[in-house]
Chains A and B, each alone.
Chain A
Amino acid sequence: MNGTGQPPLLSIEDLSVEFGTRSGTVRALEGVGFAIARGETVGVVGESGSGKSVTAYTVMRLLDAAARVTSGRIVFGGLDLLAADEATLAEMRGRELSMIFQNPRASLNPIRRVGDQIADVLLRHANVGAREAEERAVALLAEVGIPDPSRRARAYPFELSGGMCQRVGIAIALACRPALLIADEPTTGLDVTTQATIMDLVAELGAARGMATMLITHDLGLATERCDRVVVMHAGHVVEVAETGALFSRPRHPYTARLLAATPRPGLSLSEISTIPGGLPDLRRGDLPPCRFAARCDRRTDECLTLKLPRLLEAGRQVACRHPL
């Protein structure tokens, strides 16, 4: 997939997910496919509702009861996650696969000490006793840069700042040295300086552990800085996958180009930032065109609305468009 000849760590193939709702079936993901190699950082970008988080939750196999996977495979280290039983999954979660969240405070149990919450994961997966788990929890807190870790281990989440809570979240996620970390908008609620230190921390600890990262974000700037490759999603489709540099210097999909033009940059006044016309299509419609961006696209032809999308593949690149740039 990435030219090294090794099988990827995570490979998502032709994944489709539907949600049964009272007002109809929402086709949240359709034919989603991309891969992540060992140690690689892959950004998944797209506007709200494009299916980024659904993809992550499908990988974790923690979708809502209303969701149904209608096609596809998710292969992680040789194991098909969609076919795995609950016991296997519980073994994998937190040990091989882990996740950090958008709202760090909400993802910690408010009435339990943070040290105990880190120790939980170690007790569950690392085959250690209570005392050792406690010691390692303190060591992890030190590793994620929390000053006075042995005192902080006894703190409750409400006693810590948002940035501190996210550090605790990272400590929990990395406690068992997972092979893949899914970071679902990990810096959304944090201020800019904290964002940078949190991302540095993830990158640094990830590199030290040889961990791959799936970074879900709507912040293109963050994706540019932090990712080896970027997956662009729109309305449940993967529209473009490319190396970060190539994607930003020469986007091929019209949606990617539009997204880049809509990203604020220094030296650009507000009037120069373009917007993308229209919104995401209603995914409950039965007559969605093959290209879900067509209604918003100025390169649209009749073929876009009728013929199946081509998957344009060139060196390390994937573009789902009939008329790429």
Chain B
Amino acid sequence: MSALSHARHVLAENPVTALSFCLFALLALAALAGPALVPYDPLASSDRALAPPSALHWFGTDNLGRDVFSRVVVATRLDLGMAFAAVALVFVTGTLAGVTAGFLGGWTDRVIGRLTDTIMAFPLFVLAMGLVAAAGNTVANVVYATAIINFPIYARVARTEANIRRDAGFVEAARLAGASTATVMLGEVLPNVLPIMMVQVSLTMGYAILNTAGLSFIGLGIRPPTAEWGIMVAEGAGYIVSGEWWIALFPGLALMLAVFTFNLMGDGLRDIVDPRRRT
């Protein structure tokens, strides 16, 4: 009964999950090997500007004659990388903060609770814009801002899940067996919260991709001519009215595909990490 055979079982049982994993594999391939796979240099302009999709340029070319397909594929690494970094950051900080608040209660809970309330009091995208604008227009700040606006989701879910287990029989049993508060919290309660947080990772991953792309769309974080989905949509938006729809459409579809994949993966991931289904 290895985790691998269990994963295989879940995938066979649920074709939608299998599909999401295939799409994820495609995205991962594009992110890891993208620059080596594409037919053109994503930054090199040519004299075939604004060419519609053809056998030569699958997704057409943009106003500078750059190959849209190559740019969309190469951008995967940057877009997923930023979103992944932000989610990894908030997964660790948000989960730990939430579990601590929910398990210890008292003033720890109040401080962390007010902090999340404060963040949630803002329209989150506007807050992310403000943070990047104030802290400096860099890729790192886009990652931090994305992590910060996702913090309340993680902290609240982890807090609730830890809180309902605070007086669980196994927590009491662990204490009675001589475990310290930190051991009980990190060794007994945290593992029970993690499966739920893993699902959150997949769900917020899509949101984080949209957020980082959205910030680039309005000109924060990544700068042209870097290939990035948000910037490409922004650059292509002006050409839609004049009929050159492919410049904005394909990066937009890539964004949609990525968000869709991670949302689909959420459920499948839950089935895999939940040992109650591991029979």
Contact = CB atoms under 8 A, between A and B. Distances in A.
Interface in B204-223: none
Interface in B118-176: 168-170, 172-176
B279 A159 contact: yes
B9 to A, nearest CB: 16
A95 B172 CA distance: 16
B173 A172 contact: yes
B195 interface: yes
B173 A111 contact: no
Interface string A110-142: 111000000011001100000000000000000
B38 interface: no
A124 B179 contact: yes
Contacts, number: 74
A106 B168 contact: yes
Contact of B173 (A91, A107, A156, A158): A107
B169 A106 contact: yes
Contacts of A274: none
Contacts of A51: none
B99 to A, nearest CB: 14
B176 A93 contact: yes
B276 A110 contact: yes
Nearest to B169: A106
A124 B178 CA distance: 8
Nearest to A64: B167
Contacts of B278: 156
Given A109-B191, A109-B192, A111-B195, A62 B276 contact: no
A95 B195 contact: no
B178 A125 contact: yes
A111 B169 contact: no
- How large, as a class, is the contact surface on chain A? 20 to 34
Interface string B75-93: 0000000000000000000
B177 A93 contact: yes
Interface stretch (A97-105, A196-204, A216-224, A225-233): A97-105
A236 to B, nearest CB: 22
Contact of A94 (B1, B176, B187, B275): B176
A159 to B, nearest CB: 7
**Top 9 closest A-B pairs, CB basis?**
A106-B169, A94-B177, A94-B178, A107-B169, A93-B178, A107-B173, A109-B170, A99-B176, A90-B178
Given A109-B191, A158-B275, 19 more contacts: A90-B179, A91-B178, A93-B175, A93-B176, A93-B177, A94-B176, A94-B178, A99-B176, A101-B173, A105-B169, A107-B169, A107-B173, A109-B192, A111-B192, A111-B276, A120-B177, A124-B177, A158-B276, A169-B173
Interface of B: 1, 168-170, 172-180, 187-188, 191-192, 195, 275-276, 278-279
12 contacts: A62-B176, A94-B177, A109-B174, A109-B188, A109-B191, A109-B192, A111-B275, A111-B276, A121-B178, A158-B275, A158-B276, A172-B173
